Chains A and B, each alone.
Chain A
Amino acid sequence: MSGFGGFLLRRTLGTVVTLLAISVLVYVVFYATPGNVAQISCGPRCSPAQVHQVAEQLRLGDPLYLRYWHFLEGIVAGQDLSTGTSVAHCSAPCLGVSYQDDQQVTGIILTKLPVSLSLVAGAMVLWLVIGVGTGVLSAWRRGRFTERVLTGLTLAGWATPVFVLGLVLMIVVCGQLQLLPFPQYVGFGEDPEQWAWNLLLPWLSFALVEAAPFARLTRAAMLETLAEDHIRTFRAYGVSERTIVVRHALRGALAPVIALNANNVGSAIGGAVLMESLFGLPGIGQELVHAVKVVDLPVVTGMVLVIGFFVVIANALADVLFAVADRRVVLA
């Protein structure tokens, strides 16, 4: 399949270009703003000496493109950073050093990442199962009582802001009923059972809300497929309704669900930020909110870049999956 190979190559190149463009955009937005960039980056509590040092680190004397190049070089090859008294090597991928506590941003992210990944991955499995399941069920039982109940629930999930549900569930389940502990992150490596037990509530509240669009889309895509001509063919050949729904209509919904899940990665990460703050989980979301509050610019930009990286990669993967699921795309 030379067509498919070419498609992969084009998609990979496109991904690299997008990643570069995002890094440019982020750099320009955060380090080329009008005003005293060093002061802004360092935050309001920096002393003039610190600001001066930051200005040197950022090479504010250089033209913008050189500064960006330096920044990019740091990511790819690492760089040495002086912290006034000593010079520390920041190995690749170097995203800079926090001005608040002199920690390297890459290190901060690496310690926080497992928490966020645990949260998002577990919730994603749940919301796909719940969402697609609900969608299939309501497409199959269309026009009946079951569908009405399901669409009502879907709508409720759709309209509930994710942190509101999380907040209410936490108070009711952990506070009033005391069915689950107030979540405290336990590493998967330390104790898998406690890991899952503690994350159960964040997963559920996250997934219940995120499942709604999937339920809607699955149902819609299946109904659309059910209205297509080839479904009529199989009806006219005596194939049972159940086979038609499960084998043919669901297959038609696969590609759009993949696409939505990929495009949704960005907003899922947004949801993860809320969940982490709400449940006090020490993930990158919580760290990001903290960094924004104290205006710790290297941490903020580093986080944005890493998250953008994940989103772009997820999208690229989904595009490939989508093409496999819907071969017509490649040939078109």
Chain B
Amino acid sequence: MSEAILAAEVPGTDTTVPGTSGARQFWRRLRTQRAALVAAAVVALLVLVALAAPLLTALEGQDPTTYHPSLIDSARGGVPIGTLGGISGEHWLGVEPQTGRDLFARLVYGARVSLGVALAATVIQVALGVTVGVAAALGNRWVDQILSRVTEIIVALPLMIMALALLAIVPPGFPRPVLVSLVIGLVAWGGIAKITRAHALGLKNLDYVSAARLSGWSGFHIARRELLPGLAAPVITYAALAAPVNIAIEAALSFLGVGIKPPTPSWGQMLSSADVWYQAAPQYLLLPSGALFVTVLALTLLGDGVRTALDPRAASRLRVGTGRRAERAADRADGASGDRTAASGARTGASGDREEAGA
């Protein structure tokens, strides 16, 4: 997955009138989507686990970095001793092959790293992208030309490859989680910049922005008051869908052995040697895989829900199965939606029929 896909997912240049989505309406629409709510609960649980990692491991009485040579069979190449990869009252999920580090501890600390890196990367990526996009949309022709060209190049550069390459030239002392967040954030802002620019350009041409200019406000004031709130919906939607992608990228980089490096645990990093051990310690493969799958799935579903809540009409075309009934309810609640299409349809001539919209 990549920004290309995200760009296709976030409705691009729909410059008709943005929705009247106040925060309250947003919550009301989000509440009606069962799948999104379940996903939100799962995400909340994951965040809680990540935050409470030290507490949980203290409860178990382990930590993620201590080697337990006594628990692995060095004669058989480092396979954990005991049933099911060394599951016991002391090591709830067994121990890591070869090192004997506690698997439960590594998993919950891994949640910290995976979620933290993804969050930081998303923040950097969105902040950069929105800044560039707004500057391109509001700047003069040259500013726009240059920024758009740079954005094109950033979008064209394959994210994974750039991240890989950048990781090569950074001195080894740099803290890896920070580094990985920075690299992902610095490489992945192209998509959001394009979307922001397109939306801002659309908004800029809306009559109410012209009206604000006629009122005598300065460009800065108009950008802040009339444009930025209109950008909230696409930007939030993008961010919500970008977060799970960033989790997958971090996992991929760590899996390749160039992202998070031991002793810091990360799910992708745990998987990087799991294939060798699948027979002796299947949970060493299954646990991080499952954690990744559930996290990405939950975040994606939540992202879908957020999009639906922010823009029910655009979302209904892209929805992923589950939220259907809820969307219909949300659409109905959003009753006024009809005349919008009708009125924008009436270009040269008279009234668009409201009845068509009802159909």
- Residue A16 is within 8 A (CB to CB) of chain B in the complex: no
- Residue A25 is within 8 A (CB to CB) of chain B in the complex: yes
* The residue from B168, B252, B256, B257 contacting A161, defined by CB atoms under 8 A apart: B252
- Residue B129 is within 8 A (CB to CB) of chain A in the complex: no
Is the Cβ of A155 less than 8 Å from the Cβ of B252? no
Is the Cβ of A171 less than 8 Å from the Cβ of B285? yes
Is the Cβ of B165 less than 8 Å from the Cβ of A300? yes
Question: What chain A residues lie within 8 Å of B3 (beta carbons)?
Answer: 263, 267
Is the Cβ of A22 less than 8 Å from the Cβ of B5? no
Q: How many residues of A contact B (CB 8 A)?
A: 67
Question: What chain A residues lie within 8 Å of B159 (beta carbons)?
Answer: 266-267, 270
Is the Cβ of A217 less than 8 Å from the Cβ of B255? no
* The residue from A30, A162, A266 contacting B156, defined by CB atoms under 8 A apart: A266
Q: Which of B3, B171, B251, B278 has the most CB of A within 10 A?
A: B278
B interface majority secondary structure: helix
Task: List A residues 166-213 near B (Cβ within 8 Å).
Answer: 167-168, 170-171, 175, 213
- Residue B167 is within 8 A (CB to CB) of chain A in the complex: yes
> Contact flags (1/0) for A149-174 with B, using CB distance below 8 Å?
00110111011111110011011000
Q: Which of B155, B157, B169, B271 has the most CB of A within 10 A?
A: B169
Question: With A and B bound together, what is the CA distance between A175 and B279 in angstroms?
Answer: 9
Known contacts A151-B321, A304-B165, A311-B157: A158-B149 contact under CB 8 Å: no
Question: With A and B bound together, what is the CA distance between A260 and B6 in angstroms?
Answer: 10
Question: With A and B bound together, what is the CA distance between A108 and B293 in angstroms?
Answer: 36
Determine how close the nearest CB of chain A comes to the CB of B154; give it in whole angstroms.
Answer: 9
Is the Cβ of A155 less than 8 Å from the Cβ of B4? no
- Residue B317 is within 8 A (CB to CB) of chain A in the complex: yes
- Residue A40 is within 8 A (CB to CB) of chain B in the complex: yes
* The residue from A17, A18, A155, A300 contacting B320, defined by CB atoms under 8 A apart: A155
Is the Cβ of B160 less than 8 Å from the Cβ of A273? yes
> Contact flags (1/0) for B1-26 with A, using CB distance below 8 Å?
11111011100000000000000000
Determine how close the nearest CB of chain B comes to the CB of A279; give it in whole angstroms.
Answer: 10
Q: How many residues of B contact A (CB 8 A)?
A: 55
- Residue B86 is within 8 A (CB to CB) of chain A in the complex: no
- Residue B209 is within 8 A (CB to CB) of chain A in the complex: no
- Residue B53 is within 8 A (CB to CB) of chain A in the complex: no
- Residue A235 is within 8 A (CB to CB) of chain B in the complex: no
Known contacts A33-B169, A263-B155: A220-B317 contact under CB 8 Å: yes
Stretch at the interface among A61-69, A121-129, A238-246, A285-293: A285-293
Question: With A and B bound together, what is the CA distance between A271 and B253 in angstroms?
Answer: 11
Question: With A and B bound together, what is the CA distance between A21 and B300 in angstroms?
Answer: 34
A-B contact pairs, 26 of them (CB 8 A): A18-B152, A21-B153, A22-B156, A161-B248, A161-B293, A164-B271, A167-B275, A168-B285, A168-B289, A175-B278, A213-B9, A224-B317, A260-B5, A260-B8, A263-B3, A264-B2, A267-B158, A277-B256, A288-B161, A288-B165, A292-B164, A293-B257, A295-B168, A300-B165, A301-B165, A308-B157
Q: A263-B4, A273-B161, A292-B164 are in contact. List 19 more A-B contacts (CB 8 A).
A: A18-B152, A159-B244, A216-B318, A220-B318, A260-B5, A263-B3, A267-B5, A267-B159, A267-B160, A269-B160, A270-B252, A274-B160, A274-B252, A277-B256, A291-B168, A303-B165, A304-B162, A304-B165, A308-B158
Binding site for B on A (CB under 8 A): 17-18, 21-22, 25, 29-30, 33, 35, 40, 44, 147-148, 151-152, 154-156, 158-164, 167-168, 170-171, 175, 213, 216-217, 220, 223-224, 256, 259-260, 263-267, 269-271, 273-274, 277-278, 288-289, 291-293, 295, 297, 300-301, 303-304, 307-308, 311-312, 315
